[in-house]
Amino acid sequence: AQTVTQSQPEMSVQEAETVTLSCTYDTSESDYYLFWYKQPPSRQMILVIRQEAYKQQNATENRFSVNFQKAAKSFSLKISDSQLGDAAMYFCAFLLLSGSARQLTFGSGTQLTVLP
Amino acid sequence: EADIYQTPRYLVIGTGKKITLECSQTMGHDKMYWYQQDPGMELHLIHYSYGVNSTEKGDLSSESTVSRIRTEHFPLTLESARPSHTSQYLCASSPSWLQGQPQHFGDGTRLSIL
């Protein structure tokens, strides 16, 4: 079974600064995807960024980038130039591409506060 | 603009009532999912479907049931609600698992059982 661990229940960052959210996972498989989702208060889950395990290049989406270390099974999210609208719960998720059941395994989440 | 809709957004109801949480998507996705999420906690998969007439139980044991008679509709039913069912329920859909397509989520239903 796959597990996803987010060891930081809460993080805070000053507006315009950079923050890194940690995520580690455990799997014996080699073919999978990793995602970061954002969930603002009482709102939808929104996909922030995704990474294919077979790609060595780290994914980037505007101010969001990841540091994917496959050997270490680490997948951290870096948010640059933080904005007030970035405040949300962030979930790391793992999708295995083999086996009969293909659903996301989510971490416990990191609550990000952005300070003005 | 949401392409996946959940109703109701909030529901407060007494113990023993039968409840149906609705979920519909307009994207033609084959795959649909129900997650349960306690406040500030991780999401747990309780049901999923890979197409019409296909339903499976997820990782978290749940007393709820689901049906998938139409591609766009994936309702979740609790036959007799209990306080332990109080939680947020999130519905999601995805077009394909082969390419690692991300899931699209609805706004969720916050359920409180008195």
pLDDT for residue B2 is more than 90? no
- Structural domain range at position A104: 3-115
Rounded to whole angstroms, how far apart are CA atoms A8 and B59? 24
Average pLDDT over residues B18-37: 93
* pLDDT 10s digits, A16-33: 999 999 999 998 888 889
Is residue A102 within 8 angstroms of chain B, CB to CB?
Answer: yes
Residue in A35, A45, A108 closest to B41 by CB: A108
Average pLDDT over residues B80-92: 93
Q: Around A12, how many Cα atoms within 13 Å sit in the side-chain half-sphere?
A: 4
Provide, as residue numbers in chain A, all residues whose Cβ is less than 8 Å from the Cβ of B92.
45
Rounded to whole angstroms, how far apart are CA atoms B93 and A110? 23
**Type of residue at A81:** D
Contact check, Cβ <8 Å, B105/A45? yes
Distance from CA of A45 to the nearest CA of B (A): 6
CA angle B27–B43–B17, rounded 5-degree value:
85
Looking at every residue in chain A, the average pLDDT score rounds to 90
The pLDDT value recorded for residue B42 is 81
Is residue B1 within 8 angstroms of chain A, CB to CB?
Answer: no
User: Domain tally for chain A?
Assistant: 1
The pLDDT value recorded for residue A40 is 85
Q: How many CB pairs under 8 A join A and B?
A: 52
Q: How confident is the model at residue B8 (pLDDT cuts 50, 70, 90)?
A: very high
Question: Is the separation of the CB atoms in A110 and A89 below 8 Å?
Answer: yes
pLDDT for residue B97 is more than 70? no
Per-residue tokens: B74: 């994936």
Q: CB burial class (10 A; 0-12, 13-18, 19+) of residue B75?
A: middle
Distance from CA of B105 to the nearest CA of A (A): 6
CA B53 to chain centre: 16
Rounded to whole angstroms, how far apart are CA atoms B7 and B109? 7
φ, ψ at A21 (rounded to 5°): -105, 135
* pLDDT 10s digits, B32-55: 999 998 877 788 889 999 899 999
* pLDDT 10s digits, A34-84: 999 999 876 788 889 999 898 889 999 999 999 999 999 999 999 999 999
What percentage of chain B carries pLDDT values higher than 90?
Answer: 65
CATH number for position A19: 2.60.40.10
B4-113: CATH number: 2.60.40.10
The pLDDT value recorded for residue A74 is 96
